[in-house]
Structure formats: structure tokens, C-alpha cells
Amino acid sequence: MSVLVTGGAGYIGSHVVRLLQQRGEQVVVVDDLSNGRAARVGDATVVEVDLATDAAAPALADAFATHGVDAVVHFAARKQVGESVARPAHYWSQNVGGMANLLQAMETAGVGKLVFSSSAATYGAPQSAVVREDGPAEPINPYGQTKLVGEWMSRAAGVAWGLRAANLRYFNVAGAGWDDLGDSAVMNLIPIVFTALDAGEVPTVFGGDYPTPDGSCIRDYVHVLDLARAHLAALDHLGTEERPFDTFNVGSGAGSSVFEVLEVIRRVTGVDVAPDVRERRAGDPPQLVADVSRITSTLGWSTTKDLDDIVGSAWAAWKTNR
């Protein structure tokens, strides 16, 4: 199989690229390299282009034809909640515009399989402690809105021209499958704390007064290597005729608060982590935990690593690359 991975030089994408390579697939990476690094993807072909620009269509058409692409895994997108609140038009242009360009190119080339990188941000601030895929999808920030629209677009393409798509709603992704593929973007909690520790600074926590047991946000943390395995399972699922669902939560099914994560970081690093607790950040729901029964029963996927594994692998990669 030949698989094109958009955003494949980034943190999550590079893990999927490596797993695909390990099982003998041909991989083409499309990435603007704004956050990704070409060195992450080994001998994969790299096409440097921003999917939201006019240059994307001819670049994709050439890649599809040259490499006989059978399927696409789509990661390329902007992903910071706070930035999306401050720059909503930019997020719609990048995330929805990039998705539109990709789907048009796939339709033209006859590439009919897509695994889409969606997000738990599509749920917004759910009332239930654990969220199911068939529950309300009411995003409360532009980032989540663009991801939900991406799901709609993939589903509409299925109706219009037969696209087979799987939308994976990620919960909080962290850790490293290999030391050279650690999260270097410093956009998520664990690398943000590591950066503060390296600088001798106090890490910042946004919100200590949420309606949760310790006042901090609760999130479902999934190891990036487990998440990468979910993409391969979804890709394989698209080749089957029985596909009762097109949307899947990818998480551990258990929640950890920000303060609990900081405690694990203290234990793993041996460094005291006393945070500076500030006001809540716009667009953050108090709690997001996945119901993972659908992906387990349909794709046969489940997590293999816990929060200690996540923090331990993230710290090992961080020390290797700093």
C-alpha cells in the first residue's frame, strides 16, 4: 500500500509514518514544515507545501500520480485552542481550507480512503463525565469547530463520491514511541512543564477553580504510540465492507487532572513542580474523558500504556533532544 500522510513530519504524524514504514508500506509525507522536521520521517518522500494554499492542488496531484497513493492519513492542521479563539478566521482558513483542497485532490485522483485527525474538542463542554461518539458535538472554540466541520466534509464526500473515511477524535496525546520523535512543539501540558523546568521557571496552570475534585481540568491522556496504532487499525478497517461507524474516540477511558499529571512529572523527573495557577483559559472545558467502547469493539484497539509510561517516555525523549 502507498499512503500519503499530511503533517507527517510532525509529532503524531511521524509516529504513524514510522509504524507504516515498519510494516513495509510506501509513505509520502506532505508537510509545510512549520512545526514538523523532515529528519523525523526517514526515507519517506517529503513534499513541502501548505495545504491551505493554491500550491496544494498541483502538489497533491503530482504526489498521488507519481507514488500511486492508495490512502491518506490527514494530520496537517493548526491545533492551539487559545490561538484559535484569538485568530478564528485563520483557523477556518487553514483547517477547513486545507481539508477542502485535500478532498478535491483525492476525488480527482480517485484516492478513496481517508483517516482524519479529529479531536475531542468537537464535544465542547459535555455534561456527562464520559463522552460517547453519539453524544452531542457542540465545540466551544474555533479549533473544535474546524475539526467537526472536517468530519462533516469527509462524510459528505462519502455520500457524493464514495470516500471511505474514519474520523479519529483524539483526547490528550503525549509521550514518545522513540526518543527521536518526542513532542518538541511545546504546545501541550507535558512539554510545556518540561520547558519551564529546564529554564528554572514555575509552570503555569490555567484554572484552579473548575468544578472538579482538585479544581484543575481533567483530561484523558493517551500515549502517542497507542494513538499511532489506532491510525493503522482505522486504515485497515477502511478496506473492509462492514463499517458501521465512521467516528471513533481515541483515549484511555480514564481521566487525570492537571495537578495529578504534575505529580507524576515530579515523581518521574525528581524535580519539584509547584505551579503558578492563573485564571482559566478561554475555550477550555472542565473535563473530557473518552468512552472507548466503540473503537475497542469495532477496530480491536485499546491502549497499552498508562500515565507513568506517557510521562516517562516523554521525559526520556526530552532529555535526549534538549
> According to the 3-state scheme, what is the secondary structure of 72-110?
EEECCCCCCHHHHHHCHHHHHHHHHHHHHHHHHHHHHHC
pLDDT at position 100: 98
* 230 and 109 in a common domain: yes
Name the packing angle between helices 56-67 and 97-109 (round to 10°).
40
The CATH number linked to 204 is 3.90.25.10
* 180 and 157 in a common domain: no
pLDDT at position 127: 84
Identify the domain containing residue 273 by its residue range.
174-220+252-321
218-250: buried (b, 16+ CB within 10 Å) or exposed (e) per residue? Answer: bbbbbbbbbbbbbbbbbbebbeeeeeeebbbbb
Structure confidence by residue, pLDDT tens digits, 25-77: 999 999 999 989 999 999 999 999 999 999 999 999 999 999 999 999 999 99
* 244 and 148 in a common domain: yes
Question: How far is residue 118's CA from residue 164's CA, in Å, rounded to a whole number?
Answer: 15
Has this prediction a pTM greater than 0.75?
yes
* 197 and 117 in a common domain: no
* 195 and 169 in a common domain: no
Q: Is 170 marked active-site? A: no
For 233, the grid coordinates are: 487499525
User: What residue ranges of the chain have pLDDT lower than 50?
Assistant: none
Structure confidence by residue, pLDDT tens digits, 159-179: 999 999 999 999 999 999 999
Pairing outcome for strands 218-219 and 256-257: antiparallel
The catalytic position among 11, 123, 143, 170 is: 143
* 139 and 267 in a common domain: no
* 187 and 65 in a common domain: no
Side chain identity, residue 184: S
* 245 and 256 in a common domain: no
Q: Which residues contact 233 (CB under 8 A, 6 or more apart)?
A: 295, 299, 300, 301
pLDDT at position 117: 98
The CATH number linked to 131 is 3.40.50.720
